[in-house]
Amino acid sequence: MAIMESYDSSVVGSQSATSPIGRVIPPIIFGNLELKLAKNSYDIEAAQKLRYRVFYEEMGANPSPQVKRLRLDHDEFDDGADHLLVTDRRLRNNLSGGGRHPVIGTYRLLQRAHLDPSQSFYTANEFDISKILSFPGKILELGRSCVDINYRNRVTLQLLWQGIAAYVFSHKIDLMFGCASFPGTQPEIHQPALAYLRSQHQAPQIIRPSALPKKYIDMASKHEAIGDEVIKINNLPPLIKGYIRVGGQVGDGAVIDSQFNTTDVCVVVKTESLPTRYRRHYERSFSKSMQLQ
């Protein structure tokens, strides 16, 4: 499923959300769905509720006592970060009657300016990202992405990517990175796909992250033959497949994340590596959006 394909970007709202570090992102409306940046603590809590449902209730992550009590997936990065939200506007009036929450998709966007001096990025808990931190440009960590099970379709993914693209061009981001996951904590199940990523899509040394030594899982296959690349691509999780299709590359080694019940790789995407057709589309879309403000 191609994630970043063009659609009518003329349906852009008239109100804007401002990130904690001052940039304006125009909302994007498509049918009943609207994408925007979180504006306040209520919006962030809505994202955390969705993340809890998806990560803990659906995917079997292991909550801490506080996370379980509050039924919120939260950590120390949330308050300072930007949060993309996709909402279903039909659900906004259902909350008082105990209906589903209108936030049905989210992505957390974290820049250096969001971090306290004592903090590193979330990805640094699993990967050595020193080469990324030394990259001579603006960097953005993508994380905590999830979509409600009833909305996992092309339109929702397009909206999230449209929001990321608008954010990237607004903030002049040069490089994006973050953890992307295979389900479960048995990497051998995913060995063909991991070996394919390592062989065909590994990031160059100058920006290549590496799994921390004590957590390092070799992505190489015992059988070096890669086989049918189409089959390998189709076996990738949709998020990783989407990154690869827009020029994403992976680091060295995978990591088992016992808390979230996943096997993680680190993905790196240079903005200049985005396929020309995508880059031109989103530059054009963002320019039109800003003219409407």
Q: What is the pLDDT of residues 128-164, one digit of tens each?
A: 999 999 999 999 999 999 999 999 998 998 899 888 9
The pLDDT of residue 7 is above 60 = no
Tell me, yes or no, whether 8 lies in a domain.
no
Residue 3's pLDDT band, with cuts at 50, 70 and 90, is: very low
- The number of CA neighbours under 13 Å toward the Cβ of 219 is 24
Between 106 and 22, residue with greater pLDDT: 106
Structure tokens, 35: 């994408």
Between 91 and 82, residue with greater pLDDT: 82
Residue 293's pLDDT band, with cuts at 50, 70 and 90, is: very low
- pLDDT value of residue 28: 87
Residue 10's pLDDT band, with cuts at 50, 70 and 90, is: very low
Q: What is the pLDDT of residues 43-78, one digit of tens each?
A: 999 999 999 999 999 999 999 999 999 999 999 999
Tell me, yes or no, whether 5 lies in a domain.
no
Pairing state between β 139-147 and 262-270: unpaired
Task: Label each residue of the chain as H, E or C.
Answer: CCCCCCCCCCCECCCCEECCCCCEECCEEECCEEEEECCCHHHHHHHHHHHHHHHHHHCCCCCCHHHHHHCCCCCCCCCCCEEEEEEEHHHHHHHHHCCCCCEEEEEEEEEHHHCCCCCCCHHHHCEECHHHHCCCCCEEEEEEEEECHHHCCHHHHHHHHHHHHHHHHHHCCCEEEEEEEEECCCHHHHHHHHHHHHHHCECCHHHCCEECHHHCECCCCCCCCCCCHHHHHHCCCHHHHHHHHCCCEECECEEEECCCCEEEEEEEEEHHHCCHHHHHHHHHHHHHHHHCC
Report the CATH number at residue 115.
3.40.630.30
The pLDDT of residue 291 is above 60 = no
Tell me, yes or no, whether 130 lies in a domain.
yes
- pLDDT value of residue 245: 86
Domain that holds residue 287: 17-291
- Please give the angle made by the CA atoms of 145, 83 and 183, to the nearest 5 degrees: 10
Instruction: Give residues with Cβ within 8 angstroms of 136, minimum separation 6.
Output: none
Tell me, yes or no, whether 2 lies in a domain.
no
Residue whose C-alpha is closest to residue 260's, from 155, 149, 135, 125: 125
Range 11-27 average pLDDT = 53
Tell me, yes or no, whether 9 lies in a domain.
no
Residue 202's pLDDT band, with cuts at 50, 70 and 90, is: very high
Range 155-174 average pLDDT = 89
- pLDDT value of residue 256: 98
- pLDDT value of residue 11: 29
- pLDDT value of residue 125: 97
Q: What is the pLDDT of residues 211-235, one digit of tens each?
A: 999 999 999 976 555 556 655 666 7
- pLDDT value of residue 22: 52
Tell me, yes or no, whether 4 lies in a domain.
no
Average pLDDT over all residues of the chain: 84
What burial class does residue 233 get, using C-beta atoms within 10 Å of its C-beta: 0-12 exposed, 13-18 middle, 19+ buried? middle
What angle separates helix 276-291 from helix 154-171, to the nearest 10 degrees? 70
β-pair partners for 266: 179
Amino acid at 253: G
Tell me, yes or no, whether 218 lies in a domain.
yes
Number of domains in the chain: 1
- pLDDT value of residue 257: 97
β-pair partners for 256: 263
Tell me, yes or no, whether 115 lies in a domain.
yes
- pLDDT value of residue 86: 96
